[in-house]
């Protein structure tokens, strides 16, 4: 036996401190020019294109990181469905005989204009390429086969002088669509992210998607919650077909036949589009999902992405498509989509609201309600794991007793959330009459009082005459 002494047994977990906070961190999957081997992590928008090249995933991550200082985990997919290229249209005022064709597989959605800056044939004429409004340097039309590969786009121009060649001022235009991954490829990438148990709040899907994928994502989110991964998904709908659709028909299709029957408190779908100038200097019409994720990551879990006090979308230069009005935006909002809007009296473009694709009347119709509850679930669970498989005293009626410390520590993260202004109140109750000896199960009731939301402000305003005492 050792000599008599005083020995301290040091316990852990008494502070009720939770694990790592995932607030603002999210993951993204989508197509890019350089597929990733596993999951990548990004914190700097300047490093994104270097690692994954151009594509819808690049656009989403750069847009988000241009707004928020956060971590974005990403899986870049090659995509089995290649993008398409339109016919090249010669300018109506062209005076030269030359023509241009284009080949290759586009790495993203582009609007391309080729402008002839000096007259001549091969190795004489000069041109510059303008992609999404951003002009490149002036280049001499190549000799030989007249081919010029547009850097980092996957596209090659083919110049045919047809005798007399090109004239200064001639223009040629075409557009492309982005490559796409199949639903199966996206869901496989989602599974890969979920398997990593990353500290994230949501998973964003770059590129356009439809109701079939949304339903599958909703099911993935429910399954993840059953496995204690509390998160949601953010997806994006298509843009209108510029040649065949009016804005009215586009909105009617999205709110009608293309909406589908999916209803989930763990799914958001963006229908908004904006003209955006990102941190890498590119100006383009882009889906809202990138800046929407940036706004979410920039704010606390209790702060809606639509809160005007935090300012407009800084990178947004215009609301798209042209002709979109408040009636259209309201119809999309009521269908459950996330959109952007202009507000009379304010400059800039704002998020309309953080709508979840939930049933009418759900407590989780807004993304801030989803985020607050998910954070509470994560942190209460992490605190209570310390007590897993522990013993408890049983009272005369078989109910557990002596759980004051357990209750106090379970409420600790809720108290912190209340102090941080994320909830109004939160508490834990142990219902009586439990048969813990037989069930080995302790049941609790956790109640959270959320913050109110001032979505509508109604004022009564009138003149007042002091002489009348009114």
Domains of the chain: 26-80+180-368 (3.40.50.11780), 89-176 (no CATH), 389-470 (no CATH)
Task: Please count the residues of the chain.
Answer: 470
Global pTM reads: 0.87
Report, as an integer, the average pLDDT of 297-326: 94
User: For tokens 């410390």, what's the residue?
Assistant: 405
Question: Which whole number is the average pLDDT over 70-95?
Answer: 93
- Is the pLDDT at 14 greater than 60, yes or no? no
Q: What is the crossing angle of helices 56-65 and 289-298, to 10°?
A: 30
Do strands 425-429 and 445-449 pair parallel, antiparallel, or not at all (unpaired)?
Answer: antiparallel
Residue 11 confidence class, pLDDT cut points 50, 70, 90: low
Q: What is the mean pLDDT of the chain?
A: 92
Q: How confident is the model at residue 186 (pLDDT cuts 50, 70, 90)?
A: very high
Q: What are the CA-CA distances from residue 148 to residues 2, 82, 85, 110 (Å)? A: 85, 21, 16, 17
Task: Give the C-alpha separation, 213 to 345, whole Å.
Answer: 39
User: Does 273 score more than 70 pLDDT?
Assistant: yes
Q: How far apart are CA 106 and CA 83, in angstroms?
A: 6
CA 367 centroid distance within chain: 12
pLDDT tops 90 at residue 171: yes
Q: In which residue are the tokens 């998973």 written?
A: 203
**What pLDDT was estimated at residue 215?**
97
pLDDT at site 132 = 82
Q: Which pair of structure tokens corresponds to residue 469?
A: 């005492």
Is pLDDT above 90 for 15?
no
Q: Are 313 and 101 contacting, i.e. CB atoms less than 8 angstroms apart?
A: no
Give the relative orientation of helices 326-334 and 247-255 as an angle to the nearest 10 degrees.
10
pLDDT at 323 over 70: yes
CA distances from 468 to 460, 463, 464, 465 (A): 19, 12, 8, 6
How far apart (Å, rounded) are the C-alpha atoms in residues 357 and 117?
Answer: 50
Average pLDDT over residues 198-213: 96
28: Cα separation from own chain's centroid = 8
Q: Which residues contact 241 (CB under 8 A, 6 or more apart)?
A: 250
pLDDT tier for residue 416 given thresholds of 50, 70 and 90 = very high
23 contacts 301 by C-beta, under 8 angstroms:
yes
Query: Could you tell me the pLDDT band of residue 251, with boundaries at 50, 70 and 90?
Result: very high
Structure tokens at 199: 């500290």
List the structure tokens of 235: 């997806």
Q: What is the mean pLDDT of residues 369-388?
A: 95
Cβ-based burial of 86 (10 A; exposed 0-12, middle 13-18, buried ≥19): middle
When pLDDT is averaged across residues 7-15 and rounded to a whole number, the result is: 55
Distance, in Å, from the CA atom of 280 to the CA atom of 277, rounded to the nearest integer, reads: 8
pLDDT of amino acid 244? 84
Report yes or no: 77 and 186 within 8 Å, Cβ to Cβ: yes
Query: Could you say which DSSP state residue 180 is in?
Result: B
Q: What is the mean pLDDT of residues 354-372?
A: 95
Residue 10 has pLDDT above 70, yes or no: no
Residue among 261, 270, 224, 265 at smallest CA distance from 357:
265
Residue 404 has pLDDT above 90, yes or no: yes
**CA 180 centroid distance within chain:** 17
- Is a pLDDT exceeding 60 seen at residue 235? yes
For the four alpha carbons of 243, 246, 247 and 250, in that order, the dihedral sign comes to negative
SS3 101: strand
- C-alpha 59 chain-centroid distance: 11
Asked whether the beta carbons of 35 and 57 are under 8 A apart, the reply is no
The contacts of residue 124 (CB under 8 Å, 6+ apart) are 118, 140, 141, 165
pLDDT at 469 over 80: no
The CA distance from 414 to 211, in Å, is 36
């Amino acid at each position: 036996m050792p000599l008599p002494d005083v020995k301290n047994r040091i316990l852990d977990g008494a502070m009720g401190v939770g694990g790592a906070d995932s607030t603002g961190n999210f993951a993204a999957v989508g197509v890019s020019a350089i597929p990733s081997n596993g999951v990548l992590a990004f914190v700097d928008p300047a490093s994104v294109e270097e690692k994954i090249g151009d594509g819808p995933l690049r656009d989403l991550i750069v847009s988000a990181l241009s707004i928020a200082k956060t971590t974005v985990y990403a899986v870049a997919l090659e995509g089995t469905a290649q993008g398409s290229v339109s016919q090249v249209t010669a300018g109506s005022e062209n005076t030269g005989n030359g023509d241009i064709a284009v080949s290759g597989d586009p790495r993203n959605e582009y609007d391309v204009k080729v402008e002839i800056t000096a007259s001549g044939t091969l190795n004489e004429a000069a041109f510059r390429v303008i992609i999404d409004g951003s002009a490149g340097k002036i280049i001499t039309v190549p000799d030989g086969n007249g081919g010029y590969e547009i850097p980092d786009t996957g596209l090659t121009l083919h110049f045919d002088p047809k005798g007399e060649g090109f004239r200064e001022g001639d223009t040629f235009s075409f557009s492309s669509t982005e490559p796409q991954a199949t639903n199966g490829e996206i869901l496989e990438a989602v599974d890969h992210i979920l398997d990593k148990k990353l500290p994230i709040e949501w998973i964003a899907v770059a590129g356009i998607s439809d109701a079939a994928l949304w339903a599958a994502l909703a099911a993935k989110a429910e399954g993840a919650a059953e496995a204690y991964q509390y998160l949601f998904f953010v997806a994006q709908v298509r843009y209108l077909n510029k040649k065949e659709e009016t804005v009215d028909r586009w909105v009617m299709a999205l709110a009608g036949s293309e909406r589908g029957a999916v209803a989930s408190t763990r799914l958001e779908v963006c229908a908004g589009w904006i003209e955006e100038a990102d941190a890498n200097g590119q100006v383009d019409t882009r889906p809202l999902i990138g800046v929407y994720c940036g706004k979410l990551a920039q704010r606390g879990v209790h702060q809606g992405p639509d809160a005007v006090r935090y300012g407009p979308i800084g990178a947004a230069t215009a609301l798209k498509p042209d002709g979109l009005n408040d009636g259209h935006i309201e119809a999309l909002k009521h269908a459950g989509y996330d959109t952007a809007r202009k507000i009379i009296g304010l400059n800039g473009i704002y998020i309309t609201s953080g709508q979840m694709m939930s049933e009418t009347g759900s407590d989780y119709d807004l993304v801030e309600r989803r985020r607050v509850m998910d954070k509470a679930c994560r942190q209460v669970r992490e605190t209570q794991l310390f007590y897993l498989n522990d013993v408890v005293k049983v009272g005369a009626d078989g109910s557990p007793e002596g759980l004051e410390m357990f209750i106090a520590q379970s409420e600790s993260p809720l108290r912190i959330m209340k102090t941080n202004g994320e909830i109004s109140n939160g508490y834990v109750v142990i219902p009586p009459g439990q048969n813990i000896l037989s069930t080995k199960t302790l049941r609790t009731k956790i109640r959270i009082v959320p913050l109110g939301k001032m979505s509508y402000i109604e004022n009564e305003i009138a003149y007042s005459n002091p002489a009348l005492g009114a």
